[in-house]
Amino acid sequence: MDAPRLGRTLSRIAHEIAERHPDLAGVVLVGIRTRGVPLARRLAQRIAAAAGREPPVGALDITLYRDDFTTLALQPVTRGTEIPFSIDGKTVVLTDDVLFTGRTVRAALDELIDFGRPARIELAVMIDRGHRELPIRADYVGQTLDTSRDEVVEVRLEEQDAEDRVVVLRRELERRAAPKAPRVRGRRRSGGR
């Protein structure tokens, strides 16, 4: 996906959100760090252009809520959660770049509930690549891609990567040769034993 197509896709998602929620008074967008945050901001701008009202945008850092937290690093880096508005009784549109196993969204839901009790939580993603491990689905999807587990889907954004683009890369599998057991040469015995 190149930059123009990515822009058109964001505009389509923004129109879908505006159509589903014509009032927009109770709608807020919360992006999952890292690339979900600029996507949420862009969606808010496009919703404002389509419906005349820009929903508030927050940022969610799920680092401490991940189920693999203990394997990340000795001291994982957190970038902070910023939700400067109440989510109580609101429709929260959780925004992320790629939906894969569903574990990131699960962590985001856990953290979001710690901030209040929304009326509804919806999910908007740029790419749904399948391979779900949890029963999670997106309400708004930019594009669905059939991928294999040895591929990586990268959503590159101007704010983070100096370009707007979606690419699929093949993951280099580490091929570690199993250590070979030392070879013991047996002696040939002569005789009757």
Percent of the chain with pLDDT over 90: 77
Predicted confidence (pLDDT) at residue 45 exceeds the cutoff of 50: yes
Predicted confidence (pLDDT) at residue 188 exceeds the cutoff of 50: no
Q: What is the mean pLDDT of residues 7-34?
A: 96
Q: What is the pLDDT of residue 173?
A: 56
Q: What is the mean pLDDT of residues 39-46?
A: 98
Q: Provide the CATH topology of domain 3-170.
A: Rossmann fold (3.40.50)
Residue pLDDT, tens place only, 58-69? 999 998 886 665
pLDDT band at 74 (very low <50, low <70, confident <90, very high): low
Collapsing DSSP to helix, strand or coil, 188 comes out as: coil
Q: What is the pLDDT of residue 31?
A: 98
Nearest to 11 by CA among 55, 56, 58, 50: 50
The helix or strand, by DSSP H or E, that contains position 70, with its residue range, turns out to be: helix 69-72
Predicted confidence (pLDDT) at residue 187 exceeds the cutoff of 50: no
Q: Are 40 and 29 in contact (CB under 8 A)?
A: yes
Residue pLDDT, tens place only, 106-152? 999 999 999 999 999 999 999 999 999 999 999 999 999 999 999 99
pLDDT band at 181 (very low <50, low <70, confident <90, very high): very low
The helix or strand, by DSSP H or E, that contains position 45, with its residue range, turns out to be: helix 36-51
What does the DSSP assignment read for 82-115?
A: B--S--TT-EEEEEEEEESSSHHHHHHHHHHHHH
Q: What is the mean pLDDT of residues 71-82?
A: 67
CA 141 to chain centre: 12
Q: What is the pLDDT of residue 175?
A: 44
Angle (CA) 52-54-55 rounded to 5° is 135
Nearest to 21 by CA among 91, 102, 113: 91
Q: What is the pLDDT of residue 109?
A: 96
In DSSP terms, 120 is beta-bridged to 91
